[in-house]
Chains A and B, each alone.
Chain A
Amino acid sequence: MTTVDEPRTAGRQLLLDPGMDLTLRPMRYPHFFDRFRDAIRNTWTVEEVDLHSDLADLERLSPAERHLVSRLVAFFATGDTIVANNLVLNLYQHVNSPEGRLYLSRQLFEEAVHVQFYLNLLDTYVPDEQERFAAFAAIENIPSIRRKAEFCFRWIDSVFGLRELRTRADRRAFLLNLICFAACIEGLFFYGAFAYVYFLRSRGLLNGLASGTNWVFRDESMHMAFAFDVVETARREEPDLFDADLERQVTEMLAEAVECEVQFAEDLLDQGVSGLSLKDMRAYLEHVADRRLAQLGIAPRYGAQNPFAFMDLQDVQELSNFFERRVSAYQVGVSGSVSFDDDF
């Protein structure tokens, strides 16, 4: 094991070594490049999401459900911007692989599309200008959202001062930031938010929000998978970065994220929503947190089961009636040329 806080010895180039590697051939991390290409094939645009029927649905929501939706969109109004900021300020700088940076550039574009989607959503859902401004100022005004934001800012700041990852401590700090954004923010806060959307969707409400969120969710799943891939690659290159202490920090971080999200749930479910009890929501969040730990090879903390059958539904293939909904299952990049003897 290397000595703590000594500069890393330069042997072959490692992923977290400082620098701006520009060499795409030979490619060191082709799996990053594959993810980049997969992401491009999933391109979607905000204009494809039809929010038309949502406006009628908003009218039929109960006051409790309307409260839930207004809090939720207030969170969405700023959530993706925070993630994009961390990507630019921290991740892009330190993932020293041009193919990895290609993926991050793509991710940045996707975050921008998400921001645009939720901007469009709020402009549509909240016609009153003053109310709309209030929604965008949610991180100032709404305590349950502010707490989540502060959690994010704290982790952005934790590595913001680092220009280069020279020491083991630097690299561990960076990994914690990366894990925080992947596992806690995209992997837990967003997964929490998606659960509300899918709950409404399972009741046939707010299809437009759900179809856009479906695409956002697909992107976020990939962001998280990429981040975990980076973590795993760094772990393989520098096993000594990982130890019981790091595991403990990750577990604590997730536990804090769960509490932040539970507080948000208390706010959202404040007026009682039938089919979405706070207890079930907590169990769901704990279940998701356990999954993040498992993905990182860390023992689960809660042993919780997913209580939401409507989330089970997200795991199976979808089939839409084209009369009713736009199908989200098509790919953008298709290759090949005309031939007549291919197998089909």
Chain B
Amino acid sequence: MTSTAQSPPSDVDGAQPRRPAMRVRKRDGDTEPVDVNRIVTAVARWATDLDEVDPLRVATRTISGLYDGATTAELDKLSIQTAAELIGTEPQYSRLAARLLAAYVAKEVRGQEVASFSESIRYAHGLGLIADDTAAFVARHARQLDDAVDPAGDLRFEYFGLRTVADRYLLRHPRSRLVVETPQYWLLRVACGLSTTPDEAVGFYRLMSSLAYLPSSPTLFNSGTRHTQMSSCFLVDSPRDELDSIYERYHQVAKLSKFSGGIGISFTRVRGRGALIRGTNGRSNGIVPFLKTLDAGVAAVNQGGRRKGAACVYLEPWHPDVEEFLELRDNTGEEARRTHNLNLANWIPDEFMRRVEADGDWSLIDPSDAPELPDLFGEEFDAAYRVAEKKAVRTVKARDLYGRMMRTLAQTGNGWMTFKDRSNRLSNQTGVPGNTIHLSNLCTEILEVNSDTETAVCNLGSVNLGAHLTDDGVDWDRLRATVRTAVVFLDRVIDINYYPAEQAAASNPRWRPVGLGLMGLQDALFALRLPFDSAGARELSTRVQEEIFLTALETSTGLAERFGVHPAYPQTRAARGDLHPDLWGVEPTQTARWAALRDRIAAHGLRNSLLVAIAPTATIASIAGCYECIEPQVSNLFKRETMSGEFLQVNTYLVRELKARGLWTPEIRDRIKRAEGSVQGIVELPAEVRELFRTAWELPQRALIDLAAARAPYIDQSQSLNLFLSAPTIGKLSSMYLYAWKSGLKTTYYLRSRPATRIQQATVTVAPVVAADAEALACSLENPESCEACQ
């Protein structure tokens, strides 16, 4: 490269786009001059309905970043990237970038002589990627399936979503690594993998292609392939207190991780440090060294190159190693006692919280002295714990330990607070003694019984509420239709699923639990102009959840009518007529439908022991282009960092609002950026608009907990509830989590906080540094002697 070839006109957006010196290399090796008009034409083709997009701007900026002698493929990729980089100034560029990417992907697929869906399946089957039965099914119904592919489907994607799909979900040629399916072929393949008739497949494909519902990632990765592991979550009971069992668990976790599952595993049964080992007459080193091994094992498993394995370890707070457990994620201290890849969660009995409140003592008890404790909950646990306290290894102040938990949350976001008694008492699966939920899962939304020989499994999917809106509010008919389809296909996974471990295969067919979730709540609240902490928001969120749960139960009893109840049905509370809202003691709003449902359940039972769980939807919400699960927006302007790169996300509802008021200007954008995505300083906006567009950091967290508690009677598992405090203190956290417990929540998830200081912004306008002036200095707490302000 010479610098002359690189010295273009001064202004990238300027009037002189044509630079004859720059040449690109074509696929056949010839070079040709870069032609700005050709790029403009190629871009304009995808922008006919995008009135704010300027194809010339994309073309000139693309050329500015190019080097002499680049390939045409590099040029195509750069134009996609360039369009994506303009999203911050105009969100429509997100659609443009997505379409350019879809065109690029389509070209790659066509380049391998694949011109239709059925050809793509045949090709991928030949490469060993597709299951024989799916390949046969598609071959049998090739015409109907090929005709079903919706050419407009790709137009619905935003850039971040499609980039994620293209980089990680589409099947690739094992050697060339070229994608062998387009995004629409992929969704149709997923549908075919779960269908028995072509009509069914087409119906499910249409639902997914509309982005109104998406199954979880393992289903999207693996349906129709040779390894149909489609479940998201596995809940592994604590190893027994012996070496063989611990190493068996490592093996099981590795197998479950390999095919995209997330792992929850308890360690409560394993004896603590200092406990006697009779076989050798030595003393145990406790659970930390074993967790260190688990940590390495989890990191070693690469989920098909798509993401690293992930696991969360659960421990009850009476375990003698609990303090060391809480330090596992600290970033200082001895590395041998740190596990950077494991997530941590506390599995907390009510007795602990009561003693925290009463400022009482708390006994740490070795599980080898009280092996019954992990299997007990409620009053039985309380009684057994009090007896076992006589054998306590150590006694601490309950508040000191609680404070330590809060510090771990603040410093690492980890050490999630999940509540054992509530989770068990309000579960459909704990209808008879001996069935106990021992932990939650990687994302704290799944609560299922398990044991030494049975690993609980759950497969998930989420409804996109944002795609079920009309001008007047929620489209209830459409929502019901979506839920019905979703439950049928979640149930279907249970039978088709490949179980990587025998313990998982032993549990899932007995209980047949599924986890239907929700995403895009924030989209609905923006669209309906309901602030997150308003009574209207709470009403809507509860009403939506009731509708989803009710419809899911109706569908499940319908499935039971056709295929029979799940085998463990007699052990459930539903078998005795207690449905989840009854356990909460709430009165549902749709009384007639609930009454009819009760009759049907009494007659036919249920096909599934559990139906609803609100998962975090990190990836599928991106694909659907909506806000994650039940979460408020984190910022009006933020970036996502993933394996695919970094992506700017702009609140398009806000942009629309600002545009309507003539406020979408570089100056306002700069101010929002400087305020880290907050609009509270944009005084040009009326107060109620600023209120609507508050971020998670600006909302009272009490409101998030209240919303969660209000919808909880209609969630028979649990919800991944993140809480947000930009500057957490022990006082705030201890108040907040006590409130969460008292509200009756079964689980909470991450505590999100922000760094103490941040990288200096590199692109917003700067002012000269002003050293602390005399007034500020006088008021500093570090300078009490000279402070007069408060005297």
The residues of A with any CB-CB pair to B shorter than 8 Å are 25-27, 29-31, 33-34, 38-39, 41-45, 47-48, 50, 52-53, 56, 191, 198, 201-205, 207, 214, 217-218, 221-222, 224-225, 228-229, 231-233, 235-236, 266, 269-280, 288, 291, 294-297, 306-307, 309-344
Measured CB to CB, the closest approach of chain A to B569, in angstroms, equals 34
Q: Are A344 and B782 in contact (CB under 8 A)?
A: no
| Separation of A323 and B257 alpha carbons in the complex (Å) | 12
CA distance A288 to B343 in the complex (A): 39
Q: Verify B85–A232 contact, CB threshold 8 A.
A: no
Interface residues of B in 730-749 (CB under 8 A from A): 730-736, 738-739
A232 CA to B773 CA, complexed, in Å: 10
Interchain nearest-CB distance for B57 vs A (Å): 12
Q: Which residue of B lies closest to A262 (CB)?
A: B3
Give every chain B residue within 8 A of A222 (Cβ-Cβ): 757
Say yes or no: A295-B638 contact (C-beta < 8 A), given A271-B1, A335-B730. no
Using Cβ atoms and an 8 Å threshold, which residues of chain B touch A311?
Answer: 762-763
Q: Does the CB pair B308–A191 fall under 8 Å?
A: no
Q: Does B104 touch A at the CB level, under 8 Å?
A: no
Known: A30-B777, A309-B85, A321-B618. A274 touches B74 (CB 8 A): yes
What's the nearest-Cβ distance from chain A to residue B170, in Å? 15
Distance in Å: Cβ of B303 to nearest Cβ of chain A: 9
A98 to chain B, nearest CB (A): 12
Structural contact, A323 and B6, CB atoms closer than 8 A: no
Known A204-B645, A275-B81, A277-B64; contact A312-B88, beta-carbon cutoff 8 A: yes
Minimum CB–CB distance from A100 to chain B (whole Å) comes to: 12
Please give 19 more A-B residue pairs, beta carbons under 8 A apart, in addition to A316-B635, A323-B310. Answer: A26-B786, A202-B645, A203-B645, A204-B643, A218-B758, A232-B770, A277-B8, A307-B12, A314-B761, A315-B759, A316-B639, A319-B635, A322-B310, A325-B643, A338-B403, A340-B738, A342-B731, A344-B733, A344-B739
Minimal beta-carbon separation of A321 from chain B (angstroms): 4
> Is B45 among interface residues, defined by CB-CB distance under 8 A?
no
Given A218-B759, A275-B65, A294-B768, decide whether A31 and B639 contact each other with a Cβ distance below 8 A. no
Q: Does B271 contact A (CB under 8 A)?
A: no
Is B406 a contact partner of A344 (Cβ separation < 8 A)? no
Q: In the complex the two chains form, is A214's CB within 8 Å of B759's CB?
A: yes
Residue among B308, B734, B753, B764 making CB contact with A331, cutoff 8 Å? B753
Chain B residues with Cβ below 8 Å from A34 are 780, 782
Contact of A336 among B74, B729, B753, B755 (CB under 8 A): B729
- Min Cβ gap B352→A in Å is 13
Q: Is B580 an interface residue (CB 8 A)?
A: no
A331 and B411 contacting across the interface, CB-CB below 8 Å: yes
When the two chains form their complex, are residues A294 and B767 in contact, meaning their CB atoms are under 8 A apart?
A: yes
Check A316 against B65 for contact (C-beta < 8 Å). no
Bound CA–CA A322/B649 (angstroms): 18
- B307 near A326 with CB under 8 A, answer no
On whether the beta carbons of B637 and A316 are closer than 8 Å, the reply is yes
Interface residues of B (CB under 8 A from A): 1, 3, 6-8, 12, 64-70, 74-75, 77-78, 81, 85-86, 88, 167, 262, 299, 305, 307-308, 310, 331-332, 335, 338, 340, 343, 356-357, 399, 402-403, 406-407, 410-413, 618-619, 634-635, 637-646, 648-649, 673, 676-677, 700-702, 725, 728-736, 738-739, 750, 752-764, 766-772, 776-777, 780, 782-783, 785-786
Q: Chain B contacts of A29 at CB under 8 A?
A: 772
Which A residues are CB-close (under 8 A) to B64? 277, 279-280, 307
- Residues B757 and A315 in contact, CB atoms below 8 Å apart: no
CB-based contact A50/B340 at 8 Å = yes
Q: How far is the CA of A186 from the CA of B338 in the complex (A)?
A: 32
Q: Which residues of A contact B759 (CB under 8 A)?
A: 214, 217-218, 221, 314-315
Neighbour of B67 across the interface among A274, A307, A319, CB < 8 A: A274
A44 to chain B, nearest CB (A): 6
CA distance A114 to B497 in the complex (A): 47
Pick the residue among B8, B410, B769, B780 that contacts A279 (CB under 8 A): B8
Instruction: Evaluate contact between A309 and B734: CB separation under 8 angstroms.
Output: no
Q: How far is the CA of A33 from the CA of B643 in the complex (A)?
A: 38
Residues of A within 8 A of B81 (CB): 202-203, 275
Q: Are A47 and B338 in contact (CB under 8 A)?
A: yes
| Top 8 A-B pairs, shortest CB-CB distance | A309-B85, A272-B67, A41-B756, A204-B645, A336-B729, A221-B760, A30-B782, A336-B730
Bound-state CA distance A193–B473 (Å) is 50
Residues of chain B lying within 8 A (CB to CB) of residue A276: 65
Asked if A229 contacts B638 (CB within 8 A), the reply is no
Minimal Cβ-Cβ distance residue in B for A321: B618
Question: Quick check: A324 and B67 within 8 Å, CB to CB?
Answer: no
User: How far apart are A70's CB and chain B's nearest CB, in angstroms?
Assistant: 17
User: In the complex, are the beta carbons of A274 and B66 less than 8 A apart?
Assistant: yes
Residues from chain A with a CB closer than 8 A to the CB of B410 are: 330-331, 334
B44 to chain A, nearest CB (A): 21
Residue of A nearest to B11 (CB): A305
Whole-angstrom distance from the CB of A64 to the nearest CB of chain B?
A: 8
Decide if A317 touches B634 in the complex (CB within 8 Å): yes
In the assembly, what is the distance between CA of A326 and CA of B338, in Å? 15
Q: In the complex, what residues of A have CB within 8 A of residue B736's CB?
A: 342, 344
Q: How many whole Å from B334's CB to the nearest CB in chain A?
A: 11
Q: Can you offer 6 A-B residue contacts whose CB atoms are under 8 A?
A: A42-B757, A294-B768, A306-B762, A324-B643, A330-B413, A344-B732
